[in-house]
Structure 1
Amino acid sequence: MLKIFNTQLNGIFTKIDAQLEEIEIASQLLMQAANGEGKIFIKTFDEINYFSEFMTKSTESLPHSITLDSLEEINTIDTTDRVLLVGSFFTPELNQWIKKLNDEDIDFVVISNKDKEHNTHESLMHYIDLSTPRAIVPTADYSKIITPHLMALNYIYYIMYAEMYEMKQDLNEE
């Protein structure tokens, strides 16, 4: 089982690696807020909520990041700020946030699995595919277990964190 798990995880990480350009662009967008006078507002959904505190309060948190809890808080966002939306799937709640941010003309990044039902991801300017749409390890009863959303997110997050750290170092050298 461990060998299958390892092989499947490597496949997910390879799919994420293929999005490196999108991840770099998303990192640059978020860094615009962090390096200026803005904030990075982070809104997570469902089981990704467990990662929210890490992204905003850990020693390796995104710079100038805070959580965004309600749609009413969108009124506190200005043109110097950016938003990061992270969910396992495109839920109605995530789609509501996307619509509201688009209506308010606020720059944002979405990390989630593709929206196969409505193809919402195709219309987004800054989208990163989580690449974990289903469980990956087969069991003896022919079901599958382990849907590694948080492992994939952690991998994407650290790529973004490293990109932003590097950008900050380059800006400080100028």
Structure 2
Amino acid sequence: MLKIFSTQLQGLFRKITDQQEEALENSARLLAQALAGEGNIYIFATERMIGVAYSALYSQDAPESAALFPGKEKLSPSDRVLIISESDSNPEAVNVLEACQNQNVPVVSISPLTTPESPLEQSSDFHVNTFVQGGVVPDDAGNRAGHPEHLVSLFAVLSLFLTLHEMLLELE
């Protein structure tokens, strides 16, 4: 089982690296605007993904001005918001996205794409697809275990931060 899980994770990481490179670069450029100006990068995560937000925020690669989402009323147009969700249609994430749009605050979202008219993909300034579609390890009964949404989302966030870091180094 562990060999299957490891292989499937590597496949998801490779998919993000190969198929989401442009989305990561565009997202990093958008976040860099906050760092170049007077803004902050705020991370909002749905309830199920809050651990990813904390892991990303306290990683050594997190931008200095990154912080947890302070609430809709404390945003300014110079801020940027990163939404992390286990679903592309999570009502909590969509609500934050709409509030940001109403205040002209740009948004990057990270989630799997599971619906044809994905609210997060359609309305975010940039979206990074994690490609997670449930468990990745089949068992003898036909069920799937090993749900990697946290690991893969953290990989996507850290890839975004590394891309941002690389861009900032080029500007120096």
TM-score by length of 2: 0.88
SS of residue in 1 equivalent to 2:39? coil
From the superposition, tell whether residues 9 and 146 of structure 1 become closer, same or farther in structure 2 (CA, over 3 Å). same
Structure 1 position 102, deviation (Å): 1.6
Q: After superposition, what is the alpha-carbon deviation per residue over 1:4-56, rounded to whole angstroms, capped at 9, x for unaligned?
A: 22332222123212111001110111111123221001111122101222322
Aligned amino acid, residue 82 of structure 1: R
Detail structure 1 runs of 4+ shifted over 4 Å in the superposition. none
Question: What stretches of structure 2 of length at least 5 have no aligned partner?
Answer: none
Conserved? CA contact 1:85–1:108, under 8 Å: yes
Distance 1:141 1:56 in 2: 39
Structure 1 position 115, deviation (Å): 4.3
TM-score by length of 1: 0.87
Aligned residues: 169
Give matches, 1:58-137, under 5 Å.
58-69=59-70, 73-89=71-87, 90-116=89-115, 118-120=117-119, 121-137=121-137
Question: What stretches of structure 1 of length at least 5 have no aligned partner?
Answer: none
Conserved? CA contact 1:26–1:109, under 8 Å: yes
SS of residue in 1 equivalent to 2:86? coil
Aligned amino acid, residue 93 of structure 1: E
From the superposition, tell whether residues 75 and 46 of structure 1 become closer, same or farther in structure 2 (CA, over 3 Å). closer
RMSD, aligned α-carbons: 1.8
SS of residue in 1 equivalent to 2:76? coil
Conserved? CA contact 1:46–1:88, under 8 Å: no
Distance 1:117 1:95 in 2: 15
Conserved? CA contact 2:138–2:144, under 8 Å: yes
Aligned amino acid, residue 170 of structure 2: D
Conserved? CA contact 1:55–1:62, under 8 Å: no
SS of residue in 1 equivalent to 2:25? helix
From the superposition, tell whether residues 54 and 97 of structure 1 become closer, same or farther in structure 2 (CA, over 3 Å). same
Q: Find the counterpart in structure 2 of residue 42 from structure 1.
A: 43
